[in-house]
Chains A and B, each alone.
Chain A
């Protein structure tokens, strides 16, 4: 089973920031949090990952709480092309396996 909890769906207006939350209360000290997204009928796309510090790249920012029990993916200026299912993943028991939950279906509206 997935070790993370995400809301099933969210809506965001085009041009606004999209903030996608994820709870991972059972995360252990050396486990990273990975974010992917899947646009319909395509393979998942890697977005960002982090351990405990906030991270930023050209796609998004990742904010991890100090206790590491939750994180938020931020798309600073959402576009229609950001409409996708977003997955927050913590690997299983230190293995390399990724367990995909149901994710959050983000819909960006014009």
Chain B
């Protein structure tokens, strides 16, 4: 149980385009999902907390107009990187927590984004 699916696994696109990444909890409902970013040889950095039916909460330094988050249902959150540029190239990972405040977060397999 507690499977989180992330799609796509990797994407390559031209500078200036927008890219949408989906995160789904497959066998549980998640009122809260999280989006992380990881640059090479670095640890995961939390970008934002996605709450079902309300606005996401962004970490300091993360541009909310550039990284649009939508959490329209209890099993789906999306991250859209708008007008992506080469510096946005990174490994994006989502997670979701099963019901119960102290339950662990479960992570997707990540999306490797390369902007040319």
Contact = CB atoms under 8 A, between A and B. Distances in A.
Determine if chain A interacts with chain B: yes
A9 B102 CA distance: 28
A81 interface: no
A87 B45 CA distance: 13
The dominant DSSP class at the B interface is: strand
Nearest to B92: A43
B43 A43 contact: no
Chain A interface bracket (under 10, 10 to 19, 20 to 34, 35 or more): 20 to 34
A46 B107 contact: yes
Contacts of A38: 44
Contacts of B110: 41-43
Interface of B: 2, 4, 6, 32, 34, 36, 43-46, 49, 91, 93, 95, 97, 101-102, 104-110, 112
Given A41-B112, A96-B101, A100-B44, 5 more contacts: A46-B105, A96-B97, A97-B34, A98-B46, A99-B46
